[in-house]
Every structure is written in structure tokens, then in C-alpha cells.
């Protein structure tokens, strides 16, 4: 049997997306794969508490580290965990180019809006949802995409829409989107781990034909 795919997570916040991945993978009868470690960008990130509770390894780069030192730390830690896939789940820092290159096609990010709208530098957390409300758009959502050297720009892997309702606040939109994130992130990572989606030679996400033969697409009346 093939070795289970080893998933590492990079996070900065409370870690509810990390938790969704642990709940999906690190349990008996779950898909082939396991979350093996989390790197938090700050020592007080709530995700570290979740990691302890789940028995998952964790690490934090030295706070004063410059870009080169951070890149070294990330590469060494990810290699020590023998990481196959790297997931950015609420990671607030730009991933150094060397790390992006080392995990090209195997590193993904979750963003709480429908990219390419409402993404890029400075578009994180409540700012995203405030911008969505100010723009008056009726639809927002969540996006999982492959990571490249820029914030929120890499090839899109999957997206799911979420309505923006009258009277919504950034907090109410965030909560609705987060619930969707917890669904699509584990699903996308599972598909990547199983080789059902990959980064194609044309630089776009390429879904295997067999995915379209699953019951989501074939279980139609008539
Ligand atoms: C999520 O909304 C994610 O899309 C964004 O940061 C938030 C992280 O939430 N990038 P959590 O730490 O996973 O709870």
C-alpha cells in the first residue's frame, strides 16, 4: 500500500481550518493521509493549542528572523516532517519564493472570497468581508488555489459561492464563509493527495476525468 500523504499546515490564527483538516485526515477510517505538523507564524497563535490537543507537531520560526532565515526554517521543518503537501490555512505572511518553488504544485492556500476578486496584499480577515459588503456584491465565497510568489494569485483549484444578505456585517459574512472553508479545504486537499487534481503543464488546475464521474455529477434524474 502506498504511504499515506503527509500534510503540513502553515497558519497564523485560531486554526479552525487546521482543525477541519485534522478532523478529516487524522482519524480511523479517514482518507489516506495525515496532518503531520503545523508551523505558526507567531508563538501566541491559537492554532498551537489545537495542535497540542490533536497530538500534531508544531513549530514557530524565530520572531526576528529575516526572509532568508525564515525560508531556511520553513524548508528544514517541512523536510523534517517529510511533508508531501503544504496547506496555508490563515497564514498571514508571504511564503518565501524558495519554499514555493520547493513545493510547486503541492502547496495550496484557502482565501475567504471568490478570487481573483477581493484578494492580494492587505486583503485578509475582516478586511476582505468589509470590502465585499462595501462593493455591494451579492455573492462572495471561498477559494482554494495553488500558491505562487504573490498573495492570492496562483492557479485556482476550487471555489464555492456564499450569498451576501441584507444586513450582513463583516462578522456575519465571515462566519458563513468560514463554514464553507471547512468543507472545501479538506475536500481539495484530499483530491490533491489522491492525485485527482494537479497543477497542469499549462499552469492551471487540472481535474481528472474520474472526478466528473463521481455521483456529484452523475446522480441526476432522467
Ligand atoms: C480563514 O478565513 C482563511 O480563509 C483566512 O484566514 C482565516 C483563518 O481562519 N486566510 P482559521 O485560523 O482557520 O480559523
pLDDT at 127: 97
111 is catalytic: yes
For residue 112, the CA-to-ligand 1 centroid distance in Å is 7
d(C-alpha 89, C-alpha 195), whole Å? 21
* Whether the Cβ atoms of residue 206 and residue 200 lie closer than 8 Å to each other: yes
For 6, half-sphere exposure in the C-beta direction (CA atoms, 13 angstrom radius) is 14
pTM above 0.85, yes or no: yes
Q: Which of ligand 1's atoms lies nearest the C-alpha of 18? A: 13
Give nearest CA residue, ligand 1 atom 6.
Answer: 90
> Cell triple for residue 161?
459561492
Ligand 1 pocket test: pick from 129, 178, 180 the residue with the most ligand atoms within 8 Å of its Cβ.
Answer: 178
pLDDT at 8: 98
pLDDT at 102: 98
* Whether the Cβ atoms of residue 186 and residue 33 lie closer than 8 Å to each other: no
Judge if the beta carbon of residue 110 lies within 6 A of ligand 1. Answer: yes
Q: Apex CA 106: angle with CA 101 and CA 110, to 5°? A: 105
Ligand 1 pocket test: pick from 15, 88, 109, 110 the residue with the most ligand atoms within 8 Å of its Cβ.
Answer: 110
Contacts of 31 (CB under 8 A, 6+ apart): 24, 25, 190, 193, 194
* Whether the Cβ atoms of residue 35 and residue 22 lie closer than 8 Å to each other: yes
Judge if the beta carbon of residue 16 lies within 6 A of ligand 1. Answer: yes
pLDDT at 35: 98
pLDDT at 213: 73
Element (H, E) at 174: helix 170-193
Give nearest CA residue, ligand 1 atom 12.
Answer: 15
pLDDT at 210: 74
pLDDT at 39: 98
Q: What single DSSP character describes residue 3? A: P
Neighbouring-strand partners of residue 206: 198
Spell out the per-residue pLDDT of the chain, length 222, in tens: 568 999 999 999 999 999 999 999 999 888 889 999 999 999 999 999 999 999 999 999 998 999 999 999 999 999 999 999 999 999 999 999 999 999 999 999 999 999 999 999 999 999 999 999 999 999 999 999 999 988 899 999 999 999 999 999 999 999 999 999 999 999 999 999 999 999 999 999 999 987 777 665 666 554
Element (H, E) at 9: strand 6-11
* Whether the Cβ atoms of residue 133 and residue 174 lie closer than 8 Å to each other: no
Per DSSP, the three-state class of 19 is: helix
Give nearest CA residue, ligand 1 atom 3.
Answer: 90
Mind listing the domains of the chain with CATH numbers?
1-103 (3.40.50.170), 111-141+154-222 (3.40.50.170)
* Whether the Cβ atoms of residue 75 and residue 98 lie closer than 8 Å to each other: yes
Judge if the beta carbon of residue 115 lies within 6 A of ligand 1. Answer: no
* Whether the Cβ atoms of residue 193 and residue 85 lie closer than 8 Å to each other: yes
Number of H helices, E strands in the chain: 7, 9
For residue 177, the CA-to-ligand 1 centroid distance in Å is 10
> Cell triple for residue 102?
520547493
d(C-alpha 166, C-alpha 195), whole Å? 40
Amino acid at each position: 500500500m502506498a504511504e499515506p500523504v503527509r500534510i503540513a499546515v502553515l497558519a497564523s490564527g485560531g486554526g479552525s481550518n487546521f482543525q477541519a483538516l485534522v478532523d478529516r485526515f487524522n482519524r480511523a477510517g479517514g482518507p489516506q493521509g495525515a496532518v503531520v505538523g503545523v508551523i505558526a507564524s507567531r508563538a501566541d497563535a491559537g492554532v498551537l493549542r489545537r495542535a497540542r490537543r490533536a497530538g500534531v507537531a508544531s513549530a514557530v520560526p524565530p520572531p526576528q528572523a529575516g526572509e532568508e532565515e525564515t525560508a531556511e526554517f520553513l524548508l528544514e521543518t517541512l523536510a523534517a516532517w517529510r511533508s508531501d503537501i503544504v496547506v496555508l490555512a490563515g497564514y498571514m505572511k508571504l511564503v518565501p519564493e524558495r519554499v514555493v518553488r520547493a513545493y510547486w504544485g503541492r502547496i495550496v492556500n484557502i482565501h475567504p472570497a471568490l478570487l481573483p476578486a477581493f484578494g492580494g496584499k492587505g486583503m485578509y480577515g475582516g478586511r476582505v468581508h468589509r470590502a465585499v459588503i462595501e462593493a455591494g456584491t451579492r455573492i462572495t465565497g471561498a477559494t482554494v488555489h495553488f500558491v505562487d510568489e504573490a498573495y492570492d494569485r496562483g492557479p485556482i483549484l476550487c471555489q464555492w459561492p456564499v450569498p451576501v444578505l441584507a444586513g450582513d456585517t463583516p462578522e456575519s459574512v465571515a462566519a458563513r464563509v468560514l463554514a464553507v472553508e471547512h468543507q472545501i479545504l479538506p475536500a481539495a486537499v484530499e483530491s490533491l493527495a489522491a492525485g485527482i487534481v494537479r497543477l497542469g503543464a499549462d499552469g492551471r488546475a487540472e481535474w481528472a476525468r474520474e472526478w466528473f464521474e463521481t455521483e456529484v455529477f452523475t446522480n441526476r434524474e432522467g
